[in-house]
Amino acid sequence: MIKIVEYKDFRLDEIVRLYQSVGWTNYLARTELLKEAYENSLCVLAAYDGETLVGILRAVGDGLTIVFIQDILVLPDHQRRGLGTALIKTVMEKYKTVYQMELLTDNTEKTRAFYRSAGFTAAEEIDCRAFIKM
């Protein structure tokens, strides 16, 4: 049975394993930075299957006017089972009075369909433009 909990006692080994499993290697070159990012996040939710971390959602922001979903990952063999949706619903319920909930993601049909099904709207559909500097 999957349970979703607030994740506060960060275990870098299980976080790294999750990032590796989905091919997110950018963070893995600087794992100490990743650990600090988790420690300084507004909220981190973890999905556990027994004792195994199978999904995570990391949010940043002030929790009042804005929440930005920075990371959402689910182990490949646990995808397409509703875990991503459950993580998003949990963070949306936790911050249900927040003015603006945002995220930045790949522009694929799969991600567009997933986030639309969770209630998100593409920025250009509300006459907005996103900018990013990397």
pLDDT band of 107, cuts 50, 70, 90: confident
CA distances to 87, 98, 113 from 44, in Å: 10, 17, 24
Query: What rounded mean pLDDT belongs to the chain?
Result: 93
Whether residue 17 is predicted with pLDDT greater than 90 in this model: the reply is: yes
Per DSSP, the three-state class of 34 is helix
How far from the centroid of its chain's Cα atoms is residue 94's Cα? 14
> Model's pTM, two decimal places?
0.91
Q: For the domain 2-126, what is the CATH code? A: 3.40.630.30
Res 27: pLDDT = 86
pLDDT band of 44, cuts 50, 70, 90: very high
- Asked if 54 and 2 count as a contact pair (C-beta separation under 8 A), the reply is yes
Task: Domain ranges for the chain, please list them.
Answer: 2-126
Describe the crossing of helices 109-117 and 83-94 by its angle, rounded to 10 degrees: 50
Other Cβ atoms less than 10 A from the Cβ of 54: the count is 22
Res 130: pLDDT = 86
